[in-house]
Amino acid sequence: PKELPLKGTKVVVTAGPTRERIDPVRFLTNFSSGKMGYAMAEAAASLGAETILISGPVSLVPPANVTLVSVESAKEMLDAVLLHFETASMVIKTAAVADYKPKEVHSQKMKKQAGDSALVLERTTDILLELGKRKKNQLLIGFAAETNDVIHYAKSKLEKKNADYIIANDVTEEGSGFGTDTNAVTLVGKNIERQFPNQSKKELAMQLMETIIQLEKDDSK
Ligand code: PMT
């Protein structure tokens, strides 16, 4: 019989981009397709976890056996994650969450005006940082999309956000990062730095999940 190491646990996965509205027809977003997060959710579910997939707007079909929660903005994603956090065993933050949102959301479509225009932005809540503060027994796994000094930034995020693992993604590498079907990453933990070569996001997600489960098992011995 197939082993189900996550049976009886609840795993929360966030995926995709967020949208931060400017007016009824415009928003700020990024190039996340949701593929990596959906693959992580699929892997968690197939390893037996009750899986909650909290997703920004993407055009993917959700994997079987996951509960999909669709959200739009960083604030909605934060609220949805907090709703499930206390009862979760593991939270995997694959989503590319906006760091800033427009300070003012116009209720009517903004009209063109002569000359330049400026958009004033304010910070969104850092969901991972917030979870790191509230963490009890949950395993907290973040992703980090970087263009330079990837491992250095991953290590500093691990510490600053009180995460257990950061999956560092060099998004400048060919066939890796936003939108692609493949990815190459480095898993960074307190005592570990392991590279995973370029492969399909689905295979990679399964390897990451299995590696993390094994590392935690070794750790609790
Ligand atoms: O969706 P795909 O097209 O498959 O692409 C996958 C991916 C490149 C988006 C993914 O692999 C990835 O790297 N996701 C994290 C992207 C990111 O926003 O990284 P970051 O360094 O800005 O954030 C670090 C961590 O903090 C992330 O876990 C992020 O979810 C979290 N964060 C960030 C900002 C914020 N306001 N709240 C957060 O929780």
What pLDDT does residue 3 have? Answer: 81
For residues 46-56, give the mean pLDDT.
98
Q: Which tokens go with 215?
A: 């590392």
Q: What are the backbone dihedrals phi and psi of residue 96, each rounded to the nearest 5 degrees, phi first?
A: -95, 95
**Residues sharing a CB contact under 8 Å with residue 160, sequence separation 6 or more, in sequence order:** 129
Query: Was 135 annotated as part of a binding site?
Result: no
Say whether 30 is catalytic. Answer: yes
Residue 3 covered by a domain: no
Confidence of residue 68 (pLDDT cuts 50, 70, 90): very high
What pLDDT does residue 12 have? Answer: 98
Residue 145 covered by a domain: yes
The CA 191 to ligand 1 mean position distance, Å, reads 22
For residues 52-68, give the mean pLDDT.
97
Q: Is it the case that residue 98 has pLDDT exceeding 60?
A: yes
The CA 112 to ligand 1 mean position distance, Å, reads 33
- Give the residue carrying structure tokens 């995709």: 16
Q: Is it the case that residue 84 has pLDDT exceeding 80?
A: yes
56 lines ligand 1 (CB under 6 A): no
Q: Which tokens go with 130?
A: 């917030």
What pLDDT does residue 151 have? Answer: 93
The CA 145 to ligand 1 mean position distance, Å, reads 6
- CB 127 within 8 Å of CB 82: no
Bridge partners, 151 (sequence order): none
143 lines ligand 1 (CB under 6 A): yes
User: Domain with 143 in it: what CATH number?
Assistant: 3.40.50.10300
Q: Is the pTM of this model over 0.90?
A: yes
Relative to beta strand 100-102, strand 121-123 is: antiparallel
Domain span at 17: 10-103+120-219
Tens of pLDDT, residue by residue over 189-203, are 999 999 999 999 999
193: number of Cβ within 10 Å: 12
State how many domains the chain has.
1
**CA 11 – CA 197 distance, rounded (Å):** 25
Tens of pLDDT, residue by residue over 135-170, are 999 999 999 999 899 999 999 999 999 999 999 998
- For residue 172, which amino acid is it? T
Residue 114 covered by a domain: no
Residue 73 covered by a domain: yes
Residue 31 covered by a domain: yes
Residue 1 covered by a domain: no
Confidence of residue 62 (pLDDT cuts 50, 70, 90): very high
**Ligand 1 atom nearest 145 alpha carbon:** 13
What pLDDT does residue 91 have? Answer: 98
- CB 73 within 8 Å of CB 18: yes
The CA 147 to ligand 1 mean position distance, Å, reads 13
74 lines ligand 1 (CB under 6 A): yes
Residue 50: CA atoms inside 13 Å, Cβ hemisphere, count?
Answer: 7
Task: Give, using CA atoms, the residue closest to atom 24 of ligand 1.
Answer: 144
Q: Is it the case that residue 100 has pLDDT exceeding 80?
A: yes
Given 30, 65, 162, 198, which residue is catalytic?
A: 30
Q: Is it the case that residue 221 has pLDDT exceeding 80?
A: no
Residue 115 covered by a domain: no
Nearest Cα residue to 154 out of 170, 137, 172: 170
Residue 109 covered by a domain: no
Task: Give, using CA atoms, the residue closest to atom 27 of ligand 1.
Answer: 143
185 lines ligand 1 (CB under 6 A): no
